[in-house]
Amino acid sequence: MEVNDLDLIVPRLGECRIPSPMSGVNFVDDDAHVLYHGNLKTVERYQEAGKKPPCFEMAGPREKIYFDPAKLKCGIVTCGGLCPGLNDVIRAIVLSLFHHYGVRTVFGFPYGFEGLSYRHGHVPIELNPKVVQNIHQQGGTILGSSRGPQEVPEMVDTLEQMNVGMLFTTGGDGTLRASQEIAEEIERRKLKIAVIGVPKTIDNDIAYVQQSFGFVTAVSEATKAIYSAHAEASGARNGIGLVKLMGRHAGFIAAYATLANSDVNFCLVPEVDFTLEALLKALQERLENRGHAVVVAAEGAGQDLMGTTGERDASGNIRLVDIGIFLKDRITAHFKEQGIESNLKYIDPSYIIRSMPATPVDSAFGLMLGHNAVHAGMAGRTSMVVGYWKNEFTHVPISAAVSKRKQMDPKDKLWTGVLSSTGQPREMT
C-alpha cells in the first residue's frame, strides 16, 4: 500500500481543554507536521497537482491536554520477544506521567496482554519513580512478556473495571494489531480510553517508522559476534565464520552490522534471493583466493531453499527453518565432497543480543519515545504509535503502521553499500 492511499490522521478522543501542567517547554502546535517525502521535487509535484503532500502529525507536548492528571489512571504492557531498551521505555513513561503531568496511578500489567485477561490471574504492579529508578540498567522487562492472542473484550473489561484511561502497548506488529483491536472495542463501547503504541521490533521492520528502539544495540552487539567469527576464520586453514543474526523478514541488522564491520564477505538477507549452488561457488572461490571467509545470514534469508515447517508461533508468525544450521551443514558437506579441508565455526548470538541492556544511544532514544507516547496520550490521541521520521518524532495511526511490513529495498543505497563492502556477487542465483 502506498502512502498516498493511507489516512495518516490520528484519531482523537475529544477536544483538549485542560491547560498542560508542564512549563518551560516548547509546545507543539496541532498543525505541525513532518513531510513523508524528503525530496523537494516530489513535494513540488504534489503542490503542482493541487494536493497536500502526505505528512505525519508531529509528536511533542501540547499546550492543552485532554485528560485531567489528578483523575487519570494508566497502564503499561510489554509484549512479544525481548528487546534491548524495554525497561528504558517503561521508565520513561512512568517518569513522564509522574513528573511532567502529575499522574499518580500507573499499573504495569504482567506478561503482556495476559495481564489484562482475568483468566490468567496476574496481579498488576503499581509503578512509580522509585520502582523504576534503576531498571534501565538491566536487560529484559520488569513486567515480563508473552506471545499469543487474548480475548479483546476481556482486556477492555479489565481496563474499564480498573478505570484505566490510557494504555501504553510496547511491541511489534502483532502487538500493534491487537492494540488496534482493543482501540476499536473501546470505541464500540464509547469509552474514553487512549491506546498508545511504542514500536518494539529489534528487526526495525515497522512500516512508516524510520527506527525503533533496540536496533542500535542489536547492531552493536552483532558486530561483536562478527569480530569473533572473523578471528576464528582467519586463524584457521580455509576457515569459515558463519553468523546468524535476527531479521525475520527484514535484513536491516545483518546489513548494518556488515557495514560496521568490513570483515564480512557474504551478507544474506530475506529481501535478496540466492541459490545454494551460487553461494557455495562464490565461497569456494573466496577460500581459494584468500584462505578464509565470513558469512552473515539474517534468520529469514534463504527460506525458499529449505521449504516450510507449516507451523506458526504463538504470535501467529510462520515458524522459520533455521538458515544457520542449514548453511552450516551444507557448507561443511560441500567442501568435504570436494575434498577440500575447511574449518567452519557457527555463531548464533540472537538470545544474547535481545536480552542485553540498551546502549546509551538506544537508552536516550527509548526515553524520548516514552516521553512522546505520554504527550500523545495526554493530548487525547489514540489508536496510534509513536514514530520517528526524518529525525523527528511523529504520530502514526496504527492502521498505517500495520498496513505493510518494512523491508530493505535491494535497489537502495543501503544494499549497494553492503555489496561494495563485502565484494560478494550482486546476484547469487
Q: Tell me: the pLDDT tens digits for 364-402?
A: 999 999 999 999 999 999 999 999 999 999 999 999 999
Residue 429 lies in a domain: no
What is the bridge-based pairing of β-strands 384-389 and 166-171?
Answer: unpaired
- CATH number, position 223: 3.40.50.460
Q: Is 203 a catalytic residue?
A: yes
**pLDDT score, position 310:** 62
Whether 56 and 205 map to the same domain: the answer is yes
Shared domain for 56 and 145, answered yes or no, is yes
Q: Are residues 178 and 222 in the same domain?
A: no
Q: Are residues 125 and 267 in the same domain?
A: no
Catalytic member of 173, 203, 205, 362 = 203
Regarding whether 367 and 279 lie in a shared domain, the answer is no
**Domain presence at residue 317:** yes
Quote the CA–CA distance of 238 and 288 in Å, as a whole number: 8
Domain presence at residue 427: no
Q: Do 397 and 415 belong together in one domain?
A: no
Query: The domain that contains 38 carries what CATH number?
Result: 3.40.50.450
| 357, 241 Cβ separation under 8 angstroms | no
10 and 58 share one domain: yes
Residues 251 and 374 reside in one and the same domain: no
Cell numbers standing for residue 217: 544495540
Interstrand relation of 73-78 and 166-171 (parallel, antiparallel or unpaired): parallel
Q: Are residues 189 and 203 in the same domain?
A: yes
pLDDT in tens, 135-159: 999 999 999 988 878 899 999 999 9
Residue 203, pLDDT score: 87
* 65 beta partners: 18
Statement to judge: residues 197 and 264 lie in one domain: no
Residue 155 lies in a domain: yes
165: helix, strand or coil: coil
Identity of the residue numbered 54: P
Query: Looking at the structure, do residues 129 and 236 belong to the same domain, yes or no?
Result: no
Domain assignment present for residue 428? The answer is no
Residue of 381, 373, 363 whose CA lies nearest to 168: 373
Residues of the chain with pLDDT under 70: 1-5, 308-318
Q: Tell whether 29 is covered by a domain.
A: yes
**CB neighbourhood size of 351 (10 A):** 11
Instruction: Give the chain's length.
Output: 429
Cell 552473515 belongs to residue? 296
Residue 41 lies in a domain: yes
Burial class (CB in 10 A: 0-12, 13-18, 19+), 205: buried
CB atoms within 10 A of CB 238: 19
Residues 6+ apart with CB under 8 A from 167: 74, 75, 76, 77, 159, 179, 182, 193, 194, 195, 196
Claim to verify: residue 200 and residue 289 sit in the same structural domain:
no
- Enclosing domain of residue 302: 216-355+410-422
| Cβ–Cβ under 8 Å, residues 58 and 34 | yes
**Whole-prediction pTM value?**
0.91
Domain count, the chain: 2
Cα–Cα distance between 85 and 136 in angstroms, integer? 7
